[in-house]
Structure 1
């Protein structure tokens, strides 16, 4: 089928998964960091003079180093203003190195060959948690000569492996805690209950208790080592009951249908009417040796209508997702056709699944 792709999950019933893959521990989480800085050393591909804030940033940086230069007097194209983003993992201590992503904030053409100057990275509370600096690694390039431009990937975004160093740790002390909460990535009462039963069976005591479809409380016994307990709980395999879902992406033509999707008997009639309006311009000239008349451009408009026969799909009792996919491929349905058919099946009650359009 041209322009679209299908993927199906043929698994039926619950699947086994580790606790660490389907749930997180409340409080043990990443933290987002962001900062603003400048990149220098570019080969004339930096921000233009119309972007004023890079020059102001450079003037402020020079002033802190004892050099007073008015921002209006700065005329350089070898620097670019950038935003720096990083993720602070849990239990990171001062001295831990982080990967950072650098993105242009102005109209720089490329960050290739640049060096990020020392940039403080702030958390949501406005405090500095890390400092970033280092040479950029750009996964693309942009070359412009005489108005011709050749670009590969995105040269305005770069990475610096281990380019930031943690200066402040996020307080997180496990000692003394008597209870933790496990949070399911996908809320489901049956999966939560199955996880609690598996944890209690493995630990040999009623340590886990389900509060709702997403949260399971885990009690710590007296004298129990918390890291050892959490490591054992995260490695437990539990049955998971995923929600029936159909995911479609109209832009790429990708359709993903889960194996838990249930189909009911249904007949689908799908057809289309195509109307094309074609305009042609013809030149009308007077006859040879004619003394009258002028050359004119005449527009000729033709309307073509094509009503193709209706395609029919019949799904009987016990039809599977593979039957639906093969039927859609047989009639040559496009990505837009698939989305329309699935939504119509959902409205008719023949598709027992949640449809998510990306």
Structure 2
């Protein structure tokens, strides 16, 4: 692990250096969101049938029995006073995202998740389920066979599960029944919302749009918004103007960031990361506990009993590390990586060192821990 880190950091530095040398402008459609052009979340409560004995236990999930009774009564089956004990049905929550400008009859993907004590949704079929938006109105209806992403198997004394069999999806499993009321043609001004607000990037977007149209049609209102006057673009409609604007190329400005993932030991640095001259000392403390129980048996034909005597071996080892090492001031990412590589430590130790360098005020970048 210790030998692998320098190679990884050097490869990262080379990759980012090459990217910086050949910086490619990005399309505006990949940097901004257009005002009003957004998706809407949908949710519904439904029933999955056809499970192979892996559904809800109705005694533990009474809401499943209630929705099943209501569904059968709507189909003309009188189940008043009946007791249900099947294991092939499960109550689920159905979620979907209604894309912008979705029209009636358009298909929408849905996700189905069990909310009771069902153990698997494999092979189940979702019965017609209305999907509501935040305003309480029904915008889509979902139904279809569930594709679960997990595997579950069990025997008499053991079971094994891989993935999450209690959640699945239905591609194109919902049909749009109601359209979202939004008329793009009535807009006189379109606002561009930056996904990563930045004053420099917003200013470049304003300049790029004005240069493309040859007149002042865009103005930066803040770090996250650029407003475009549709009338001054001389385009037939706002849709035509947006179609032209979204393909304009802009080189975004990126903040200096260091992102670390403590679970996997991953460290990612941006090309603008800088570090001041600093001295670092790092050592490891290892605690060892080993259980080696011994079996003591009585003499042959004696009345004694065989017993297990616990035996524990412990030890503490302090690795002095590399002593006090100097990390020189880095004016580029490759120099920063070279300085950190001089410490020759493992990725998890490197994360702690970066935290300490930041606390000392020598790391000039935003530090994000995930």
TM-score, scaled to structure 1: 0.90
Instruction: Give the aligned partner of residue 57 of structure 2.
Output: 48
Cα shift at 1:18: 0.9
Q: Please state whether the residue corresponding to 1:147 is helix, strand or coil.
A: coil
| Whole-angstrom CA distance in 2 between matches of 1:27 and 1:161 | 26
Q: Please state whether the residue corresponding to 1:73 is helix, strand or coil.
A: coil
| Whole-angstrom CA distance in 1 between matches of 2:147 and 2:314 | 55
Describe the shift of the 1:68–1:343 C-alpha distance in structure 2 as closer, same or farther (beyond 3 A).
Answer: same
| Whole-angstrom CA distance in 2 between matches of 1:112 and 1:252 | 31
| Whole-angstrom CA distance in 2 between matches of 1:283 and 1:232 | 81
Instruction: Give the aligned partner of residue 177 of structure 1.
Output: 187
**Structure 1 counterpart of 2:235, from 214, 224, 227:** 224
Structure 2: give runs of 5+ residues left out of the alignment.
none
Instruction: Give the aligned partner of residue 252 of structure 2.
Output: 240
TM-superposition CA deviations, 1:231-276 (whole Å, max 9, x none): 1110000121111111111112221111121122222211122233
Q: Please state whether the residue corresponding to 1:20 is helix, strand or coil.
A: helix
Describe the shift of the 1:195–1:54 C-alpha distance in structure 2 as closer, same or farther (beyond 3 A).
Answer: same
Q: Does 1:150 align with 2:165?
A: no
**Structure 2 counterpart of 1:120, from 130, 137, 156:** 130
| Whole-angstrom CA distance in 1 between matches of 2:87 and 2:52 | 8
TM-superposition CA deviations, 1:268-291 (whole Å, max 9, x none): 211122233445444567889999
Counterparts of 1:179-328 in structure 2, within 5 Å, are: 179-221=189-231, 224-225=235-236, 226-282=238-294, 299-311=310-322, 313-318=325-330, 320-322=332-334, 324-325=336-337
**Structure 2 counterpart of 1:77, from 59, 62, 87:** 87
Question: Which structure shows the bigger proportion of residues in helix conformation?
Answer: 2
| Whole-angstrom CA distance in 2 between matches of 1:144 and 1:287 | 45
Describe the shift of the 1:144–1:329 C-alpha distance in structure 2 as closer, same or farther (beyond 3 A).
Answer: farther
Q: Please state whether the residue corresponding to 1:240 is helix, strand or coil.
A: coil
Instruction: Give the aligned partner of residue 27 of structure 1.
Output: 36
- Count of residue correspondences: 357
Q: Please state whether the residue corresponding to 2:109 is helix, strand or coil.
A: strand
Describe the shift of the 1:73–1:219 C-alpha distance in structure 2 as closer, same or farther (beyond 3 A).
Answer: same
Cα shift at 1:201: 0.4
Q: Does 1:91 align with 2:66?
A: no
| Whole-angstrom CA distance in 1 between matches of 2:48 and 2:220 | 51
Cα shift at 1:126: 1.0
Describe the shift of the 1:298–1:46 C-alpha distance in structure 2 as closer, same or farther (beyond 3 A).
Answer: closer
Describe the shift of the 1:330–1:262 C-alpha distance in structure 2 as closer, same or farther (beyond 3 A).
Answer: closer
TM-score, scaled to structure 2: 0.87
Cα shift at 1:27: 1.2
Cα shift at 1:41: 0.7
Select between 144-153 and 34-43 the one with higher mean Cα deviation.
144-153
**Structure 1 counterpart of 2:45, from 22, 36, 51:** 36
Instruction: Give the aligned partner of residue 364 of structure 2.
Output: 352
Q: Does 1:136 align with 2:146?
A: yes
| Whole-angstrom CA distance in 1 between matches of 2:340 and 2:319 | 16
Cα shift at 1:107: 1.5
Describe the shift of the 1:352–1:70 C-alpha distance in structure 2 as closer, same or farther (beyond 3 A).
Answer: farther
Structure 1: give runs of 5+ residues left out of the alignment.
none
Say what the alpha-carbon RMSD is for the aligned residues. 2.7
TM-superposition CA deviations, 1:18-75 (whole Å, max 9, x none): 1110111111101111111001011111112322211111011111122221476011
Question: Which structure shows the bigger proportion of residues in strand conformation?
Answer: 1
| Whole-angstrom CA distance in 2 between matches of 1:175 and 1:257 | 43
| Whole-angstrom CA distance in 2 between matches of 1:330 and 1:286 | 60
Cα shift at 1:77: 0.6
Cα shift at 1:111: 1.0
Select between 61-70 and 13-22 the one with higher mean Cα deviation.
13-22
Q: Is the 8 A contact 1:115 1:134 kept in 2?
A: yes
Describe the shift of the 1:290–1:137 C-alpha distance in structure 2 as closer, same or farther (beyond 3 A).
Answer: closer
Describe the shift of the 1:265–1:331 C-alpha distance in structure 2 as closer, same or farther (beyond 3 A).
Answer: closer
Q: Is the 8 A contact 2:265 2:351 kept in 1?
A: no
